[in-house]
Chains A and B, each alone.
Chain A
Amino acid sequence: MSGPDGNKSSHTELSSQVFFDLVDSVIADVASECHRVARLGLDRDLEVVEEELRFSVEARAKVADPSNNLETNTKFVVDIFGQTHPPVASEVFNCMNCGRQIVAGRFAPHLEKCMGKGRKARAKATRSTTAAAQNRNSRRSPNPRYSAYPNSVSENQLASGSPGVACEDCTVRENVKGG
């Protein structure tokens, strides 16, 4: 490697070698990264990716199709997690008052009637005056006596309120409404 020419050619070759060393490093990085993604399944398996592609195509078709839209989206919108907006409370549990099975989303209106606090519920509830009298009477008596009624009580009728404070409240309200 003597003389300028010799230097130049060796320089070129040397540069080349250094350059390819650098490229090899980058290649190793890429390979390592891809290997990691592959082994950890971060790329979400090629099968899954294809499946999702299919899903997204189907979803697009659904969205594009106007008839579908009308049927499914009248009340709520479903987001990507499957949650509905506005949220629909669909859990069923037992009302602690009357012991009936109530859908969570209908619990508030049920309580209104169940505990006799609603306006309309009170007004509509009593199909007959006797029923109304019974309501007022049994309000002062303990629960068990009245608990037989809930079964026959329709949605519009009242069930007895719980004794104690709630009863008094009901009474007060009753009076306020002018009977």
Chain B
Amino acid sequence: MKHSVNRPPTPDEDDAAEGFEKDELTLREIINVKLVESGEKENLMELVRDRLVECGWKDEMRIACREHVKKKGRKDVTVDELIRVITPKGRASVPDSVKAELLNRIQNFIVSAAL
């Protein structure tokens, strides 16, 4: 039999002392898995994208990116850098209505997934 079959389980899962925190992490992971499996994640992604485009948020982000590219020079820019630059602004500038709608849907999902 292959060694991988007899591989001892990963220490994390075995560690009972960190149970509670790990439970949270695992819970989040579980939710993620359920979201993906049920296809709800796909729906949510599409919804988020649509809403953020509608309200002009995406355009604002693209302007911010272009500003940064202008400053840094076209050739020097990296994707990570752009993400780093626009994430704080991006997270903060999501319209409240969009956020509320999404949170609502997610919560409904969590509840219905009986977690």
Contact = CB atoms under 8 A, between A and B. Distances in A.
Q: Decide whether A and B assemble into one complex.
A: yes
Contact of A27 (B24, B83, B106, B110): B83
Interface footprint category on A? 20 to 34
A167 to B, nearest CB: 68
B3 interface: no
The SS class assigned to the B binding surface is: helix
Interface residues of B, number: 38
B58 A30 contact: yes
A22 B74 contact: no
Contacts, number: 99
Contacts of B58: 26, 30
A68 interface: no
A11 to B, nearest CB: 5
A38 B48 contact: no
B48 A27 contact: no
Contacts of A52: none
Interface of B: 23-24, 27-28, 31-32, 35, 44-45, 48-49, 52, 58, 61-62, 65-66, 69-70, 74-75, 77-79, 82-83, 86-87, 90-91, 94, 99, 102-103, 106-107, 110-111
